[in-house]
Amino acid sequence: MSTASPNNPPAVVWFRNDLRLHDNPALQEACARGEILPVFILDDINAGPWALGGASRWWLHQSLAKLRESLQGRLWLFAGDPLEILPRFMAEHHANAIYWNRSYEPWQVKRDRELKLHLEIEGIEVHSYKANLLFEPWENLKGDGSCYKVFTPFYRNAIQNLPVATSPKAAPQQMQIAPCAQADDSLTQLVLLSSTGWHRKLEAHWSPGEAGALNTLEHFLESGLWNYPEGRDFPAQQSVSRLSPHLRFGEVSPGQLWHAVTRQGLENGSEEQAEQFKRQLIWREFSAALLYHFPTISHENMNARFDRFPWQDNDELLQRWQRGETGYPLIDAGMRELWQTGYMHNRVRMIVGSFLVKNLRLHWHHGARWFWDCLLDADLANNSCSWQWVAGCGTDAAPYFRIFNPLTQSQKFDPKGEYIRSYVPELSRLSDREIHEPSALSQQTLTAAGIELGNNYPEPVVDLKASRENALEAYQQTK
């Protein structure tokens, strides 16, 4: 129970996708008020089909452990429906106010509206803030008040007419945190970690938590930003930020990233590189706005003509793609990177996505669900919009006839085969030229490299030329 009296009631701070102390307006405002009760609720009830996937649950476990440490061990942890948990918890602790930062997925918006109405009827103050986006989804609109469906005008309007807020706030200097009566194993009781232990392979690659986010940001500013516009297309280079999981769980805010990158660009003359990175932050905003205004895009084609597309139904092909056993080294490297690290380089995400929906002609839903379960940075808006983009059925989508060729992409963006060798080691003895297409090599060359196609490396699952022609023919049926 809280030590606060009814005459000096505490306020609840409901942590959600904002697991940080810095630049956290809900936490800042609640601390200015007085004593706080920090709470996190694992809500698989209202999330339904969008409950966190396995990789995200591992990250959440680690991030909550770090957040709890920074809150002096006084973070209340629950699993269930916040509509039931929060009113009861607040009554037990005589709390008369709750603070949270807004979330924007359709199920979250619906839940939060219901909760706000219920609490206000009970006489509870409800305070919500913008903390997870640079702009609210209802701020960056066209002149007629409608949502942008094309990224470029969305981007231009944002940078011209919607200046980012003032510099991010520091963590509260003083926090009066009410005691937490939960047992030490309350985090374990959320059962976020798989009993199989498969998640342990992720530990070598990541440092979840706010400190890890800030360290990753600092490393990117020093080592990656200068080469970002060119280097971000090459998966073997260290030119991407790898901040997306930290941003997904709110261990760092988009405002912190925006201001840090802007400052770095001004200080060392890399303003163009900084603008390219900030453009990607606004793409994230674009995806969030689309999901907010078109809440069915997580499962329905934005372009209805694709409702007539003749997708294939082939479990074997899907599993070969998921396991990274397609016979196309760049595809296989990307899918294995995903399985081994919970992450995939963005250029490779586009290539493996195109291969699934066009060369294999499997529904983009399959790819979106696999990414949802395997990606540490799985975000419903980004995931849905990106898969619709690559499938050609979304707003501002790539034309369907734009089919990434995994061989030419591999030769162009992994010319020395460094990325492929990292995740497809059975091909490591091939030369830089040979490694992109083992199936085109002579038996003598394959034998010398220790490769037996169909045994220790698969034959290609489809012919690129024939599958491309079949995809374009299938596309005609949507007209």
C-alpha 153 chain-centroid distance: 24
Which residues contact residue 304 at a Cβ distance below 8 angstroms, ignoring those fewer than 6 apart? Answer: none
User: Would you call 150 helix, strand, or coil by DSSP?
Assistant: coil
Domain that holds residue 385: 304-476
Q: What is the pLDDT of residues 235-245, one digit of tens each?
A: 999 899 999 99
Q: What is the DSSP letter of 122?
A: T
Q: Which of 76, 105, 131 is the last residue in one of the domains? A: 131
Residues 342 and 284 both lie in one domain: no
- Stated pTM of the model: 0.95
Report whether 7 contacts 94 (CB < 8 A): no
The answer to whether position 197 is within a domain reads: no
Residues 388 and 453 both lie in one domain: yes
Residues 225 and 326 both lie in one domain: no
The answer to whether position 3 is within a domain reads: no
Q: What is the pLDDT of residues 211-253, one digit of tens each?
A: 999 999 999 999 999 999 999 999 999 899 999 999 999 999 9
CA separation for the pair 328, 406 (Å, rounded): 7
CA separation for the pair 205, 375 (Å, rounded): 13
User: In this structure, what are the phi and psi dihedrals at residue 312, rounded to the nearest 5 degrees?
Assistant: -85, 160
Per-residue confidence in pLDDT tens, the chain, 479 aa: 344 455 689 999 999 999 999 999 999 999 999 999 999 999 999 999 999 999 999 999 999 999 999 999 999 999 999 999 999 999 999 999 999 999 999 999 999 999 999 999 999 999 999 999 999 999 999 999 999 999 999 999 999 988 776 689 999 999 999 999 999 999 999 999 988 888 889 999 999 999 999 999 999 999 999 999 999 999 999 899 999 999 999 999 999 999 999 999 999 888 999 999 999 999 999 999 999 999 999 999 999 999 999 999 999 999 999 999 999 999 999 999 999 999 999 999 999 999 999 999 999 999 999 999 999 999 999 999 999 999 999 887 677 888 999 999 999 999 999 999 999 999 999 999 999 999 999 999 999 999 999 999 999 999 999 999 999 999 998 87
Residues 439 and 401 both lie in one domain: yes
The answer to whether position 464 is within a domain reads: yes
